[in-house]
Structure 1
Amino acid sequence: MEKKVNGEALKAIGFTEGKIIGMILTQAASVTTDAATLLGLLTKLNEYPESFLDDPEWKSVAQAMVEAANAAVDTTIPLVGNPDAFAVYGPEFIEAGATTQMTTAMKLPITIAGALMPDAHQGYGLPIGGVLATRNAVIPYGVGVDIGCRMALSITDIPVEFFRANEARFKRELIAQTKFGAGNGFKGREKIDHAVLENETFQITGLLRGLKERAAAQLGTSGGGNHFAEWGVIDFAESDAELGIEKGQYLAFLTHSGSRGLGATIAGHYTRLAKSICPLPPEAANLAWLDLDSEAGQEYWLAMNLAGDYASACHAVIHRKMLQSVGAGLLGKVENHHNFAWKEILNGEEVIVHRKGATPAGKGVMGIIPGSMTAPGFLVRGKGEAAAINSASHGAGRQMSRTQAVKKITREAMRAELKANEVTLIGAGTDEAPMAYKDIRQVMSAQTDLVDTIAMFTPKMVRMAGDGSRED
């Protein structure tokens, strides 16, 4: 029988000779996935091992990769905080691993407060859906790898009926005006200029100077995984004076993506630096922080904000191109970061609020909480709930790991779900199937104290990376 993968194939997608390759080959022999799908999955494993830590088939390999990449640290900083002093919203929807990670984060001597959102699941360091307020310190993996990952919504003046009558045109332009997948970018004259590339922060360190060319090539593109660009119908049950939108249905364009290779490289570099100067016990090693009074802390803070500005610029480029291509006028726009840290006032004290996969929901602050490729998303306005550190969920949250989804969900079942919801899908593998996600309505019901719903967005045409990581 022909082997599904071999050492040369693994090295070709980025693995290096050693123990990890041996572990992968051993595990690969026991899985039933075909070779092409398996290599796609292993590419994701190499890029984001933290997302496989709860995967029943690959967690041992992922753990070994994390340990190998981050080495042992001295357990010199004691964990002294109150592990139970954090608010939890929708605990019945949250897996134990996420709660354990939040409990560890609450023990850090820099921690002031914490909260766990109803879409929470286990991550790398701080759980996805975790919110942590600290005193004068920033945790790179409390922000996350995809720094400044964000949502952006453009409400257009194109009638919904026109979209339905001209779906072929909208599909053609959705393909033409977007580019997806890990590592993908533009070349030569395709590259897009934007003021963010003139940001002086690119010149403050050799690392950032070296990343500028890559950032320029990827400006206006989207990543793999759960990143998307989609057309849909947004329904305002009531008029919204702040947005200037009357009651009714509108055609809208919604995107989800982040800071691409720029943010990932910044995250990796400063996490390694934080670990070298902030030794913690093994269970807390990925929560190493940088003091904002230090040179390293200031460097990261500036680099993080640059990555956030860059993510915003990527969305701005995509939305401008898309709306121009279909002749749409803009009636209103809403956008928000997640995977970021902010300086905010909490209970009269300035704190650093990390929202790793959480939406800012201060009083009156607008944001977008998506569901899945067939489930609705919600335009919301924050209530400013202090116990939640002025936050809400950033989506529905996964209920299946990527490996579980690929194993359990068939293409036929996914197509049936899309057809039942009248959604046209371009790209995406079964790892992003709607059934892999929690019920967004249940998640929203668990956070009525955190946000008011302003409008509901129903996806109708969705584009994602071809298999969750690369182009078709």
Structure 2
Amino acid sequence: MEKEKISNSELNALGINDIDILVSFSRVANGLLKHGVMDKREILANLEAVIEDPMPYTLKKGGKFKNIAESIIEMRKEGRFIKQERSNFKLKEELAEFPVWGLEHIEVGALAQMRTAVQLPISVAGALMPDAHQGYGLPIGGVLATTANTIIPFAVGVDIACRMCLSIFDLPAEAVDTEKDKLKNILLDSTYFGIGCTTKSYFDSSLFDRKTWNETKLIRSLKDKAYSQLGTSGTGNHFVEWGELTIADGALDGIPAGKYLALLSHSGSRGFGGTVADHYSKIAMTKTKLPNEAKHLAWLDLDKDEGQEYWIAMNLAGEYASANHHEIHNKIARALNHTPLMRIENHHNFAWKENLADGTEVMVHRKGATPAGEGVMGIIPGSMSTPGFVVRGKGNIASINSASHGAGRLMSRSAAFKQLDKAVIAANLIDKRITLMGSDMDEAPMAYKDIHAVMAAQQDLVEVLAMFEPRIVRMADPREKPED
């Protein structure tokens, strides 16, 4: 097993940009780590403190950081390695209001997190969707508009550009029964699940011809990993499934009313997006000092290098996530020997530059929320045995043109394992005629809120165009650690 190390990027995040001091810091830090003198967190905390004020460290005889502290003092006398101005921000004292849809479905923790978010000094507006539940920093189902030149990595989420994609085929919905074995085998042969899963053949890898892959050192270092994972689905609540799509008359242009075979997938930007999120969230928390309850809402300034780097990487992760879904859908369509009539898709972990109703330019973070501007198409899934919905946004200003991204969790994963009954779950899947490959109790339908109640709570946000009922579902092996 590879030994833990303190990377140069983690040292860079402390503000070290001089190669000499970087080498010194790395040698001392990894020496202490290797010999078990301190753990990684304690080492980084000490290094951060040395940069802030090296003098106390020079006074301790035999101190582990004494030589580094003395070097910093000497360099600063020479005008090198100047102490960076550190931001220290307070939350707004006034309790800003924010609209909530489906308040009766939302836990107190998510409301508290959203209240903290709208009190950030950079916050302009916020809203909470009916599927909301407590997350990391911004709650899942939270929408936050900040000043236009700021972006919060943890308000985008760890799985950057997690998204939905639906392909509609000109085949009868009953194929999920009459052709069940064939459709099941296509999923088994054409989809890949697992934290480190990779593929070796590609339908279209042209995304990797883009110059953006050479924009930053971090992106360059992740290109090979991203390439190897193109067309894979990860773990957690990610899935690829066949189902029956019921379309209302005149709802979708060019497709008559009726029931169709459809393919629905849910996944994001895999290891590429996860590494980008981890890297820049650490930088943000180092650069932007906030009270403890808001520390994971630290932001990056788009007028500075690290902000621009994250913006480039986030948008590339969005393109990658889209290509990832297209790879899955195109391979399956080829195996099925049918071209889809229509494909509908949307992100729900992303940040967009948009304008509020009064024309104010803002950065809109939707962490587990679906874009629902006027006329914008999207997909809101339920669970493995409950319907999902194709929707059209109504452009509700109060919700910052957003809607829920799903049913939302009713209980945590650990609670699901403790509280749910395997026999009840199995009976539910039989009753709903669900063929399930993979997954575990933490993804059981009972672990999620009632999708019908969630949809009823947001009738002023979206119009329902079609209903998707899952029938043949593939998810990660139950032994896999959830990534979402």
TM-score in terms of structure 2 length: 0.81
Q: Deviations over 1:57-107 (max 9, x none)?
A: xxxxxxxx9998996998821111643321100011001111111111111
Q: 1 CA distance for matches of 2:443 and 2:333?
A: 26
* 1:121 alignment counterpart: 133
| 1:143 and 2:151 are equivalent in the alignment | no
Letter in 2 for 1:384: G
Contact 1:70 1:272 in 2 (8 A): no
User: Residue 219 of structure 1: SS of its match in structure 2?
Assistant: coil
| 1:280 and 2:280 are equivalent in the alignment | no
Query: Alignment RMSD, CA only?
Result: 2.3
Structure 1: which 5+ runs fail to align?
1-11, 17-64
* 1:35 alignment counterpart: none
Residue 231 of structure 1, CA deviation = 0.4
Q: 2 CA distance for matches of 1:123 and 1:66?
A: 25
The more displaced of 311-320 and 164-173 is 164-173
Residue 128 of structure 1, CA deviation = 0.4
Label 1:88 to 1:198 Cα distance change in 2 as closer, same or farther (>3 A). Answer: same
Residue 291 of structure 1, CA deviation = 1.2
Q: 2 CA distance for matches of 1:434 and 1:102?
A: 26
Q: Deviations over 1:254-273 (max 9, x none)?
A: 00000000000000101111
**The one of 218, 232, 242 aligned to 2:243:** 232
* 1:256 alignment counterpart: 266
The more displaced of 155-164 and 418-427 is 155-164
Letter in 1 for 2:120: L
Q: 1 CA distance for matches of 2:243 and 2:40?
A: 39
| 1:335 and 2:348 are equivalent in the alignment | no
Residue 429 of structure 1, CA deviation = 0.5
Letter in 2 for 1:442: A
Residue 316 of structure 1, CA deviation = 0.2
* 1:109 alignment counterpart: 121
Residue 406 of structure 1, CA deviation = 1.2
Contact 1:155 1:251 in 2 (8 A): yes
**The one of 404, 417, 420 aligned to 1:406:** 417
Q: Deviations over 1:321-377 (max 9, x none)?
A: 011111222111110001100011102111100000000000000100000000000
Label 1:67 to 1:143 Cα distance change in 2 as closer, same or farther (>3 A). Answer: farther
* 1:311 alignment counterpart: 321
Structure 2: which 5+ runs fail to align?
6-38, 50-85
The structure having more radius of gyration, on CA atoms, is 2
Letter in 1 for 2:184: K
Q: Deviations over 1:44-65 (max 9, x none)?
A: xxxxxxxxxxxxxxxxxxxxx9
Letter in 1 for 2:168: I
TM-score in terms of structure 1 length: 0.83
Q: Deviations over 1:147-187 (max 9, x none)?
A: 0000000000122233421100110111110001112112x
Q: 1 CA distance for matches of 2:44 and 2:119?
A: 21
Contact 1:226 1:468 in 2 (8 A): no
Residue 458 of structure 1, CA deviation = 0.5
Aligned length in residues: 409
Letter in 1 for 2:210: N
Letter in 2 for 1:152: C
* 1:85 alignment counterpart: 97
Label 1:468 to 1:338 Cα distance change in 2 as closer, same or farther (>3 A). Answer: farther
Q: 2 CA distance for matches of 1:13 and 1:381?
A: 48
* 2:198 alignment counterpart: 185
* 1:196 alignment counterpart: 207
Letter in 2 for 1:350: E
* 2:75 alignment counterpart: none
User: Residue 338 of structure 2: SS of its match in structure 1?
Assistant: coil
Letter in 2 for 1:164: D
| 1:298 and 2:311 are equivalent in the alignment | no
| 1:459 and 2:470 are equivalent in the alignment | yes
